[in-house]
Chains A and B, each alone.
Chain A
């Protein structure tokens, strides 16, 4: 290896950032501009996989950056959970870029340069989040992620986009500033450190009332995890172009949220402390309520992207539950579900975008009979749905399996019942879409000429759909990474 591991780590954050000037410079030449993005994403994948190899070999990689405040540094450290998250985000960036080329051009979107620039900044901050070595660093990149995705949400510039942007920014910024920042400062003040440490940072004599309150602040403060009542931003963000919804609001942004929840639970509180906190139970049931309610709301949505958004809210609840169960299986399940749900949901969003570009349909009721003209898209949709529901032979099975085991270990029967109910609801709101597309007649009017979406988009969605199946059979590395968190 000709580069020090530390350099590689910094490069993963900088490479997407360096792409930005290139993208702006190539403003007038769309091919070159997308070329820059793709090159950057390929380099990123190379970097992330190299890092993965190093971590597998047991190299510990940590960097202490400049001190923001005395004793409080910008610091980065690679641990298994962050490795997993960055692998997922890095791979899917390339796929999404390929997809976006087809989508954005097929949809004749304006301001594509701004779109790709902000996208790259967002990915850079995702890398920063996944490798953050302390809460402060995590918080910084968390906020950068919020701000860099705002222009993407309001991309179209319509009054509706403006409205959505307000909700998006309003919820995410207020929760993070009001609860998360306060919790971080309070942690710094009580524990004297905000570094992520195995087994938590709080000294044993800390009053339970303080740690209990802090947990509530953290869970609400990480608004990106979309625990009710702070989930409104996610449906609001659906005004964005579909590639944004796909990568950011099914993978990067929301997963940054649950990733932070997992990190806080494991490395700030520590599972032993978490198990003793009464407020953990409260938050657990709130997450369970989110899972159920969001599924019910999803059933009532006719707009495909809105339905997927609520489905995401519900699935994020799973991961939060996994974290708050404070059992080994729960954590493993939560971590695995980050990856599994990412592949499943991004497939569904890709399909939704493909349908919008090719058939100009956004409402589910209009999609009957679409399977004949867009078979590949609809098959992919079917596979994605299976993964979200958690049925074999798709990767989603494993995530849910381990979370269930976690609930069983913790002896939380209510949670198990909720998880099962929610899976049934998943079937009810997802499967009818592809089934009706294949087995029902066209919605109305005479059949119009509908073809499949542009080739790049089609490639991308087939790739992620296959990924869902692949992850069912090839789970071992993922499981090893996830269980390494607890060692």
Chain B
């Protein structure tokens, strides 16, 4: 098996894992989006490199050339790039609004605030209003 010859796939796999790792490991919401973009980009490479035909040229008709690369994956990936941009833009817009609402873009901060909300719901549902002062003190500190 030709390992070096398939270097384009190696790049794809490495990029994909890097992107995936960032999405999972980072707490910062913007960094996660960066990871997501890298993850998507790796797929773009996969498509673009598969359209390449060895020894062929760009698919522009010319009398001097007989062999052309496959243009379809490129066209497909143009669409995918547009989708990727839309996703990133959407994600960033969400992050802006999250920052406005929570005052933070760190996942753990947000989670703490959400948990507090849920605790309040719990106390309200089961009517133990007397216990809420404990919880309010925690929040004040």
Q: Are A and B close enough to touch in the complex, i.e. CB under 8 Å?
A: no
Query: What residues make up the interface of A, taking CB atoms closer than 8 Å to B?
Result: none
Query: What residues make up the interface of B, taking CB atoms closer than 8 Å to A?
Result: none
